Structure 1
Amino acid sequence: MEQRLEDYLSFVISWLPNWLLAMIVLVAAVLVGSLIHRFVFRILTRIVAQRDLFWRSLVSRTEQPMRLAIVAWVMVPAIGIAPLSDQQTGLLRHGLLLCFILLIGWMARTTLHIWTTVYLRRFKLDAEDNLLARKHVTQSRILERVAATLIIGFTLSFALMTFPAVRQYGVSLMASAGVAGIVLGLALQPVLKNLFAGIQLAITQPIRIDDALLVEGEWGKVEEITSTYVVVKLWDWRRMILPLGYFIENPFQNWTREGAALIGTVMIYLDYTVPVSVLRHKVEEIAGKSKLWDRQVVNVAVTDFKQNVMEIRILVSAPDAGKAFDLRCEVREKLVDFIQREYPHALPQVRASGTIVEEARAAGVVATADGRTMQQ
């Protein structure tokens, strides 16, 4: 009975064409690899069920590349069994080698992203004092993009080196060096400049995510830092795009470099007759009733004397740049309302002696609303 079965299988195999038999072997290898992956994935899922978030996410996110890797691993012996020509076997093995290289790069990139995401979960950008969070988020995001660029570069390099023609060309190019190296360096100068600028920004951190900046005469917050440019969300929701190298080579103002709290300045020009002590008491009252004031700084000082008015500087502090701006507006509005009601004569005005005014009226010269004079 067994002999007849063997003879029957031998007859069927000899009758089937080679290409069909090869397809059957390869499809069977794919099915076996899928079954092995399902078994291995279930075991790994149970093992990491009690582990931390990183390992659970890693197993979950790498399910597809793991399946492809196991299938490719099973197909290696299947190619040797299948009735293929030497050329077909070489092409398939080369394809599997490329598949392994790309899968390693894919899994490395996924692992890097998962680790960065899990690490940054402990920091909250929406916290009241988010200086530490902004520092770690900025550093991690920049280094992640730089590392991802390196992973992609190395993956493509190893993949290209599997082709003999490209490998020989690369060796000859490296041997020739000289002009080829200079041309390549000039061509890659912008890319390398931004790459090293990104590393320098991640280490020194002159800017961070959510930093308040005054750059190119515009105020806004750092919304995104990529491997080549920085996106600044301006106060009116426009986006300013600047290369990474800009923040290394050009001066700019960072309003949240060491902390989010800021001191806002309000300048007002009043007549010499206004009582400064009453004004100081009113400013302290306005700040005390405001929800925007952080209870740190409030100050009123006469900083200069002009020809017709005196310059009064008011300082009030707030937890961040946005609240400082709103607090300055609130102080201006309420202070002007107070002066208009209580000391209207203290508002800036042009003085003239009685004799000059009487002579001007006698001559028929009157002043218009915009300060010009006209003949009656």
Structure 2
Amino acid sequence: MTQHFVSTLFAIRSYFTWLPAPVVSVLMLAVVGFLGFYCGNVVTSLALRMPGTRSAALIRTIVAALRRPTRAMVMLIAMRAALPAATGFSFESEENIKLFLMFVLILTFGFSAIIVFRIMTEAYLNKLSTREQSDDIMIRTHQTQIRVLRRLIEILVGIVTVASALMLFPSVKQYGISLFASAGAASLVVGLSARGLLTNLIAGVQIAITQPIRMEDLIIINGDWCWVEEINATYVVLRVWDWRRYIVPISYFLENKFENWTHNSAAIIGVVFLWLDYEAPMDKIREMLGEIIKTCPLWDGKVFDAQVADCNGQVMSIRIIASARNALQSWDLRCDIREKIIARMREECPEALPRTRFAMVPPAPGMDAWPSADMISPPIQRPPPGSYMGPGSPTPPSAGPSL
């Protein structure tokens, strides 16, 4: 078929012998390139009209993304096939044109391979994201692996493509051979200069395999809540709750410890602390908390409890634990519990609210305490002097509330 194509070009060329041979060769390559470009456009247009099945939709997406590369490749292939009929060029010029066309063709093919690979992985990721499960560890695992490995493969394909294209030229090929021959010192210099890049690239592969972090994992770094927004080949983008972004080298997550709140599951137990007075009726407060938690839609119904966790000279500490489906819902759930229990205690048992206790003593023996009892509201009812001298003495009259 190629021979017939070249023979046809020779026959057409014979009609233009009255023009200089170089001009005829240039015009012939230009016309062949235009026809190849037009044929590529026709092929892609027909492919875009495929019936609307799911597989055909993916093919149409790939064809739409490859319209320009496809037309360029068809044009380059046609010009490469027509080059033997371009006898108006010298042997050296013909070889240079041949190398240039092959160089551009290899680069275009490598670029097209990267586009196809990216579209297919994006289609798979979109398919995963359409699932109804909002906390599927497998989905986030696949997303992380695909995104990290995709970038590494794109880098690898790009390097191989550029290297293959450059190896067409004898001068570059000889340079590459001499570089490999002297790999002793050269590899040491390159390795030292690119140590950080290589470390992060290798760390990216380890992240994809061992999965210490995944896409949309909630981690704690520098005291901030962060979500893993992007995992690139050499760095990770973390989205902070206030919309800031941390750009962290990917090797950080293999060399430093950090908290991952969604490693196995997004469900988490939140803790609420209340500081109440010793007069607080714990049974009634537990009952109120039980009523409150049942009205909270963010509670997942698994874990709930309220206990006296600690106490000091002024108040006692009440620890309330409640589970939620994820950290964000846990935060909102804890805020909801605080607001509702404080409102209930203010209305139903205000004696549970914390108060400060103090005692007034005279500055010196024989002097009255300041401020005096009549200056305090409500007044303090003290027992008469000498009415209570210790155990065995008459019981003193009940005193009023003391502050």
TM-score category (smaller protein): 0.7 to 0.9
Question: Is 1:241 the counterpart of 2:244 in the alignment?
Answer: no
Task: Tell me the equivalent position of 2:27.
Answer: 24
How far does residue 63 in structure 1 lie from its aligned partner after superposition?
2.5
Mapping of residues 66-105 of structure 1, within 5 Å: 66-82=70-86, 83-105=88-110
Tell me, in whole angstroms, the C-alpha distance in 2 between the residues paired with 1:250 and 1:65.
Answer: 44
How far does residue 50 in structure 1 lie from its aligned partner after superposition?
5.3
Does structure 2 conserve the Cα–Cα contact (< 8 Å) formed by 1:134 and 1:210? Answer: yes
Query: Letter of the aligned partner of 1:116 in structure 2?
Result: T
Query: Letter of the aligned partner of 2:73 in structure 1?
Result: A
RMSD over aligned Cα atoms: 2.7
Query: Letter of the aligned partner of 1:108 in structure 2?
Result: A
Deviations 1:131-180 (A, max 9, x none): 33222212111111111111111111112212222221221121112221
Tell me, in whole angstroms, the C-alpha distance in 2 between the residues paired with 1:132 and 1:360.
Answer: 71
Question: Is 1:65 the counterpart of 2:75 in the alignment?
Answer: no
Does structure 2 conserve the Cα–Cα contact (< 8 Å) formed by 1:34 and 1:71? Answer: yes
Match of 1:361 among 360, 363, 371: 371
How far does residue 354 in structure 1 lie from its aligned partner after superposition?
6.8
How far does residue 36 in structure 1 lie from its aligned partner after superposition?
3.6
How far does residue 263 in structure 1 lie from its aligned partner after superposition?
1.1
Does structure 1 conserve the Cα–Cα contact (< 8 Å) formed by 2:50 and 2:60? Answer: no
How far does residue 188 in structure 1 lie from its aligned partner after superposition?
1.4
Match of 2:153 among 143, 147, 158: 147
Does structure 1 conserve the Cα–Cα contact (< 8 Å) formed by 2:47 and 2:60? Answer: no
Question: Is 1:113 the counterpart of 2:138 in the alignment?
Answer: no
Structure 2: runs of 5+ lacking an equivalent: 1-12, 377-403
Match of 1:344 among 347, 350, 354: 350
Query: Letter of the aligned partner of 1:67 in structure 2?
Result: R
How far does residue 339 in structure 1 lie from its aligned partner after superposition?
2.2
Question: Is 1:254 the counterpart of 2:260 in the alignment?
Answer: yes
Deviations 1:78-98 (A, max 9, x none): 222111112221121011111
Deviations 1:97-123 (A, max 9, x none): 112211221121012112101211221
SS at match of 1:209: coil
Does structure 1 conserve the Cα–Cα contact (< 8 Å) formed by 2:239 and 2:246? Answer: yes
Deviations 1:285-332 (A, max 9, x none): 121111221222211011223222222110111121111111111111
SS at match of 1:296: strand
SS at match of 2:270: strand
SS at match of 1:230: strand
Question: Is 1:311 the counterpart of 2:314 in the alignment?
Answer: no
Task: Tell me the equivalent position of 1:4.
Answer: none
Does structure 2 conserve the Cα–Cα contact (< 8 Å) formed by 1:287 and 1:293? Answer: yes
- CA change 1:86–1:268 in 2 (3 A) is same
Query: Letter of the aligned partner of 2:16 in structure 1?
Result: I
- CA change 1:363–1:275 in 2 (3 A) is closer
Which segment drifts farther, 209-218 or 337-346? 337-346
TM-score, reference length from structure 2: 0.81
Does structure 2 conserve the Cα–Cα contact (< 8 Å) formed by 1:221 and 1:234? Answer: yes
Structure 1: runs of 5+ lacking an equivalent: 1-8, 367-376
Does structure 2 conserve the Cα–Cα contact (< 8 Å) formed by 1:48 and 1:55? Answer: no
Query: Letter of the aligned partner of 1:222 in structure 2?
Result: V
- CA change 1:364–1:239 in 2 (3 A) is farther
Query: Letter of the aligned partner of 1:32 in structure 2?
Result: L
Match of 2:188 among 182, 185, 188: 182
Task: Tell me the equivalent position of 1:372.
Answer: none
SS at match of 1:227: coil
SS at match of 1:316: strand
Deviations 1:10-65 (A, max 9, x none): 6x633312332122111221133134434544665567865714333333322222
Larger proportion of helix: 1
SS at match of 2:17: helix
TM-score, reference length from structure 1: 0.87
Deviations 1:237-291 (A, max 9, x none): 1111111111111111111111121111111121222111211111121211112
How far does residue 201 in structure 1 lie from its aligned partner after superposition?
1.0
Deviations 1:181-212 (A, max 9, x none): 11100111111111111111111111111111
Task: Tell me the equivalent position of 2:276.
Answer: 270
Tell me, in whole angstroms, the C-alpha distance in 2 between the residues paired with 1:170 and 1:307.
Answer: 79
Which segment drifts farther, 97-106 or 124-133? 124-133
Question: Is 1:207 the counterpart of 2:210 in the alignment?
Answer: no
Tell me, in whole angstroms, the C-alpha distance in 2 between the residues paired with 1:176 and 1:298.
Answer: 69
Does structure 2 conserve the Cα–Cα contact (< 8 Å) formed by 1:124 and 1:130? Answer: no
